Amino acid sequence: MPDAPAAPKRSLVEAIVASTIGTTIEWYDFFLYGTAAALVFPALFFPKYDAFTGQILSFSTFTIGFLARPIGGVVFGYLGDRIGRKSTLVMTLLLMGISTLLIGFLPTYAEVGIAAPILLTLLRFLQGLGVGGEWGGAVLMAVEHGHKGRRGFYASWPQAGVPLGLLASTGVMALCQASLSPEDFHSWGWRVPFYLSGALVVVGLLIRIRIMESPLFTALQNDNQLADAPIRETLRRHWREILLAAGVRLTENSCFYLFAIATIWTRRRTYMAGCWFMIFFAWPFYAMLETRQTEWIILATVLGLAGGHAVLYSIQAAMIPELFGTRVRCTGASIGYQLGSPIAGGLAPLIATVLIREFPGQYWPLAVYIILISFISLACVHRLAETSHLDLDDSSRSP
């Protein structure tokens, strides 16, 4: 197979911008649900239970989205390797946007009874499918357009969609809450941020439709070398990389949800440095929160997210796709990335809620939890091969 040409500068910039904006919109939708799950869903969808049980049930529907993410990774990873990265990104954005918009129109338990939480859970599952397929396509558009150089830097841009989406969803929800009386906010105000998702999706679609397909995928397509069964091929040839990629994600994903609710180094060394940061910072993080002083809480959050988590998350976008050949890169990267999500981010709020209840006034169990998962990720990244020097267009990596 002849080398795929490097993408023109304009196409590269457009791919990165489209991936970043689209990812920001998808994570706005995904995190918006988490904010509502903490603020209003217990009372509106689980009013028959006490406050603690209602919160657990609300967070359980939040977790459903994480359980759906590996399924979305399989489905859209397959489509990304068969019909293209661009088409898959359009589908995931539509699925996420429509699901989020429909949440804004849901009747509550008081109006339709048990059907309300069932519908809420179903839409959360669809959200999980959408975001599960989003990451692989988004980072691959950046990685494969910029595969001839600095792909670690290019791949880190779509990762910015996560904090941007978090800030946007939290900010919009906070603005609605501050602008309305408590009665109006719980009655209808919480729905406004979900309605806004519809407008954001239109913007995202207009941007994504303009971009060109990945040059590496196009080269395979032109040479009729696309994988006939990308899932089977990925699991047969790359099962080890998938499991290690999932393990690598545990500390990053768990710590993000606990903290929140390329570089001259090699990929592995940078990621290992981030894991060690989390291990040593876990105890000080909760100690600073325990002071209950605003300046210490802000410092703890900034150090946790902008320090340790940012190091881990920025590296993943290049490190995980580099583990797989172009024929199965979307499938392998999507499954490997999303497989760790249910165990990590999906369970983190539930585990934290239970630990706080079982050990009132004590933060050490949460610190121990972070330390344990950080050691698991450290062991996994230690077993991974260094990939920063690989040529993604090397045909010898594909059968």
Alpha helix positions (H), 83-181: 85-103, 109-112, 115-145, 151-159, 161-179
Output the pLDDT for position 271: 76
Output the pLDDT for position 262: 35
From CA 352, how far away is CA 346, in angstroms rounded?
Answer: 11
> With bands split at pLDDT 50, 70 and 90, how would you rate the model's confidence at 122?
very high
> With bands split at pLDDT 50, 70 and 90, how would you rate the model's confidence at 190?
very high
Q: Across the chain, what does the average pLDDT equal?
A: 82
From CA 74, how far away is CA 339, in angstroms rounded?
Answer: 10
With a cut of 60, say whether residue 157 has pLDDT above it: yes
The CATH class of the 9-397 domain is: mainly alpha
Give the mean pLDDT of 265-293.
80
Output the pLDDT for position 5: 52
Output the pLDDT for position 395: 43
CA 274 to chain centre: 18
With a cut of 50, say whether residue 398 has pLDDT above it: no
Domain spans, the chain: 9-397
Q: Which of 197, 256, 255 is nearest to 28 (CA)?
A: 197
With a cut of 60, say whether residue 147 has pLDDT above it: no
With a cut of 70, say whether residue 328 has pLDDT above it: yes
With a cut of 90, say whether residue 340 has pLDDT above it: no
> With bands split at pLDDT 50, 70 and 90, how would you rate the model's confidence at 264?
very low
Output the pLDDT for position 359: 87
Segment 58-93, tens digit of pLDDT: 878 878 888 898 899 899 989 989 988 888 888 998
Segment 38-53, tens digit of pLDDT: 888 988 998 888 877 8
Output the pLDDT for position 298: 81
- Residue 200's Cβ-count burial label (10 Å; 0-12, 13-18, 19+) is buried
With a cut of 90, say whether residue 239 has pLDDT above it: no
> With bands split at pLDDT 50, 70 and 90, how would you rate the model's confidence at 399?
very low
